[in-house]
Every structure is written in C-alpha cells, then in structure tokens.
Amino acid sequence: MESLAGPELDARLRGFLSEDVGTGDVTTEATVPADRRATGELLARSACVVSGLPVARRVFELLDAGLAWEEDAQAGERVDAGRRLAVLSGGARAILTGERVALNLLQRMCGIATTTRRFVDAVAGTGCRILDTRKTAPGLRPFDRQAVRDGGGVNHRYSLASMVLIKDNHRRLAGGVGEAIRRARRAAPAGMLIEAEVESEDDLLQALAAGADSILIDNQKPETVARWCTLARACARPPSLEASGSVRLDNVRAYAEAGPDAISVGALTHSVVAADISLELTESPASAEPGA
C-alpha cells in the first residue's frame, strides 16, 4: 500500500478528526457564528520541501464539502520561509475545527520530505539510493512514505508481508543466517525477495553461500562496508547491497561512496522534525456582519 486514497484515506482522516474533536469543538462553536465564512493562507514559516497538501485539503473537505482550495506549491518543491503554500476558503467553523489535524499532518510530511532531501542531496552523484524503514508511528505509515517519496527517497518494504528480511533475532533463533535463508527460500511465496542482515564477515559469507537476493550490512564502518561490498560483488550472482545503522547526515556520503546500492535511514521517520507551517485566517467579505 504505497499511498491512501478514496474511502481508505477518508476513513483514516475521519479517525484522526474524531480523536481531536471528541464530542465537539466547544471553543469554535461558542465563539464563531455558524454562518461565518473565512479565507485562510497556509504559510511556510521555515524553509522546507513540500509534501502533504492534498492530505491537508482533504481534512478540511471532510468538514466542508464546499471548501475552495488553491495550491501555490507542488509536492517535492523547495520553498523558502514566508512562502504561501495554499489558499482556502469556506465555513469558518469547519476550517477552525480541522486546522490542527491538517497542520499536524502537513508539518510532519513536509518535515520528513525536507530531511529526506538533505540525505538525497548528500549522496548525489554516487548512484546510491536513500531508503526509509518501518520505523513509523502507527497509523501514519502511508503518509510518512509519501513524504519520503516527495523528498526524493525510495520506500523500503511496506509491511512484514512485503518481503523476507532476516534480522539479528531471526538468525539467532533459526541457527544462523545461512539456515534462516534456506528456511525462508522453502517457505516464502515463490519469487519473493529475500534479504538478510549481516553484522560479521561470517554472516556475510553464509548469506552469499545461501543465495540471498539482497544483503543488509548493519552497523559497520564505511571501510568495512566497502570491503564487504567488494566480496559480495565477486560472486557469480551478486546480491543487491544495502547499508544501515549509525548513518547520519554528516557521514552518509562516506557510506554511499563505500559502494552499496542503497542506504536505509530510520531517522527519516522515527525522529521527525516538523516544518513550521501556519494557517492565517481572515473573515470572508460575504459573511461580514452589517455595519462591521
């Protein structure tokens, strides 16, 4: 499931709104007349990479089917602080009630896209891809993965059903990485990709001998990654190679230059720094009170 759309998206967003609104937006209902209309601007208060505007729009539309919306920025676009991202107008109560859910999702998605772009830029020219991980907050994975794509990254497996990925606890309980791969080859659906994490040269050699489709080199220094990549590519049928663990913005290029095909970075989604985005509302002229 690479993204949510239609009824699935609406159901997820309604759940978020239900959590936030509870039995009703008592402040808005007490202070804003039911017929009041408003116009708002979504403004980037920090430089960021844009992601999530269609999601924010749908939040407001679920509360006001007649909402008018105009986007001023595109997904994946870099914008400076002060840039207007979109203009919306509709029922003032609906906009105020949906504001927090819409902004929470938009700020998170722009933050993920911005961080992803920094990692992608850091490895530019190496041919190495930046991957996300399953380290996402429950319920937010489709949104997080879309933001990674908008930032120029590539999605890893969506769920445990997507592919075989043998990690440290699997190999311990299976009796070694080689045995785990052989068991997976017998039991997994035909054609399913089998990836094995390795943390020692012995693990690597076992994974190569067992015919892993992909090898994840975890928690090693760049020089070790380079040596193991050379060993793996000397095989008659070399696997794809991924590096992970201890990867930061200041060392990701060294890892990329070590030779893996991809680097997975959990921090893209598990340590999100939200973009600063605000919604500034003004009363629409059509709803102004007489004599105002």
Would you name the residues annotated as active-site residues?
100, 135, 167, 197, 218
Nearest alpha carbon to residue 64 among 90, 38, 86, 39: 90
Give the DSSP letter of residue 126. Answer: S
Indicate the length of the chain as a whole number. 292
Residue from 238, 201, 197, 194 nearest 218 by CA: 197
Phi, psi of 79 (to 5 degrees): -130, 150
- What is the spatial distance between Cα 141 and Cα 34, in angstroms, rounded to a whole number? 35
